[in-house]
Structure 1
Amino acid sequence: MVQHTAVARQFILYFGSISKCGVLRIAMSKLAVEDETACTAVKKFTDLFYDAVDRKRNKMNFLYADGAMLVWNGNAIRGVEVIAKFYDSLPNSTHTLESLDCQYIDSSDQARPLVVLAIGKVVLGQMTHAFTQTLVLTLEDEKYKILSDRFRFID
């Protein structure tokens, strides 16, 4: 029996198998397909989200679930309408993402909740800041909406 390193075992779990001679067989496992599906959905959602924050703030209320909560640099804001008003009160912004990661929280849940980590830079008014943002997304009417949003300057 072939012994595999921990990295190889993780690769096998994610992608498929390694042949007897050690050659990687890349076959999309169920986990890899789910991950790819999540990444595609999150990329589309974050493109829409940051476009709304930067250019179409009147659309922000469509991106949050009922009862959503935003914690923006330590300030807690609850409720779709209050969150939309908060974003409206901010100076003009331009977000640039440098890193984006996501994973399902519980793939057996019908709402297919995802946790999303975005890292980037934002020009807010005349100031530039590095930021992290963590979103918890949930499906509502077959569209992802934000259930929880945590935004923090990191500079």
Structure 2
Amino acid sequence: MTQIVKSKIDQACRVAEEFTKLYYETSDKRRHLMSKLYLDSGLLAWNGNGVNGNERIQKFFIDLPTSDHIINTLDAQPVLDSAVNGQLTFMIQVSGTVRYQDRVPKSFQQNFIITAQGDKWKIVSDCFRLQEPLTNDKS
């Protein structure tokens, strides 16, 4: 592995830790600031519901019940320069548990693609899915 690739992987891991800490603190405690985390044209797929544009995404989050996220796993990797025209971009994968209001906590999986915009990281794409068992109902 070249030193450049190793450096980008190390950077992706550092950025993922900082970014996810900010993301989940904002989601759980400061939802009125969620739009600042997304590109103007950002895309959110939340349990199969698609929302695009940072202002619509913010309204979507404000309408959700209060939440408390706990991260169990975190992984990140750089996206190849050739795929993003050299724009510094990372893919982040998160799993954990989330409790909405006083409901039972549920497992979730979330994938982000974030890109550098000046000295800030912005979400290009965000895919969130609660992990619910498939039913074997064959009636």
User: TM-score range, shorter-chain basis?
Assistant: 0.7 to 0.9
Question: Offset at 1:140?
Answer: 1.0
Question: Offset at 1:146?
Answer: 0.3
SS in 2 for 1:111: coil
1:52–1:60 CA contact under 8 A, matched in 2 = yes
* RMSD between superposed Cα atoms in Å: 1.3
Residue of 141, 146, 151 corresponding to 2:118 = 141
Residue of 71, 78, 89 corresponding to 1:113 = 89
Question: Offset at 1:116?
Answer: 0.8
TM-score normalised to structure 2 length:
0.87
Question: Offset at 1:111?
Answer: 2.4
TM-score normalised to structure 1 length:
0.79
- Give the letter aligned to residue 23 of structure 2: F
My pick for the range that moved more, 116-125 or 31-40, is 31-40
1:111–1:140 CA contact under 8 A, matched in 2 = no
1:99–1:119 CA contact under 8 A, matched in 2 = yes
Distance in 2, Cα, partners of 1:111 & 1:148: 15
SS in 2 for 1:126: coil
> Quick check: 1:42 aligned with 2:19?
no
> Quick check: 1:130 aligned with 2:107?
yes
Report how many aligned residue pairs link the two structures: 129
1:100–1:116 CA contact under 8 A, matched in 2 = yes
SS in 1 for 2:122: strand
Give the corresponding residue for 1:88. 62
Question: Offset at 1:43?
Answer: 0.8
- Give the letter aligned to residue 95 of structure 2: I
Give the corresponding residue for 1:4. none
Distance in 2, Cα, partners of 1:150 & 1:34: 23
Higher RCO (Cα < 8 Å, 6 or more apart):
2
Distance in 1, Cα, partners of 2:87 & 2:34: 21
- Give the letter aligned to residue 109 of structure 2: T
Give the corresponding residue for 2:127. 150
Distance in 1, Cα, partners of 2:76 & 2:110: 12
- Gapped runs of 5+ residues in structure 1? 1-12, 15-28
